[in-house]
Amino acid sequence: MSYAIIRTGGKQFRAEPGKSIRIPTVEGEPGSKIKFDDVILGADGDTVKLGTPGLKGAAVTGEIVKHGRADKIVVFKFKRRKNYARKQGHRQGFTEVRINDIKLG
C-alpha cells in the first residue's frame, strides 16, 4: 500500500490513491486536476523515503471533487466579573480532493 505525506495550506495530510482528503480551500473548479509538489514522506509498501525537507521529484496528483464549508464552531470569550462576554461563530472552508496517483521520483 503506497501513501505519501503532503504539505498544503500550512498543514500535513496523508494521501493514498483512491482516497479523498479535505484540505484548506484551494482555487480550482470541481473536476479539475491538482498537483502537490511538496511531498515530505513517501512509502510504496517496502521502502519509506523521507525528504529533508521534501522529496525531490516527488508529486501527488488528484482531482478536485467539491468545495464546501465545515460545521460551525462557537468561539466564546468570557472574563468573569468584568461584564465581558463575546460569542462568535466560524465555519472553515475546505476543498475535497480525490487522490489519483503518487510518484516518488
- The answer to whether residue 23 sits within a structural domain is yes
pLDDT at residue 32 in the model: 97
- The answer to whether residue 39 sits within a structural domain is yes
Count of domains observed in the chain: 1
- pLDDT digit string (tens) for 18-59? 999 999 999 999 999 999 999 999 999 889 999 888 999 999
CA distances from 61 to 35, 71, 85, 91, 100 (A): 4, 27, 46, 27, 6
pLDDT at residue 57 in the model: 92
- The answer to whether residue 15 sits within a structural domain is yes
- This prediction has a pTM of 0.86
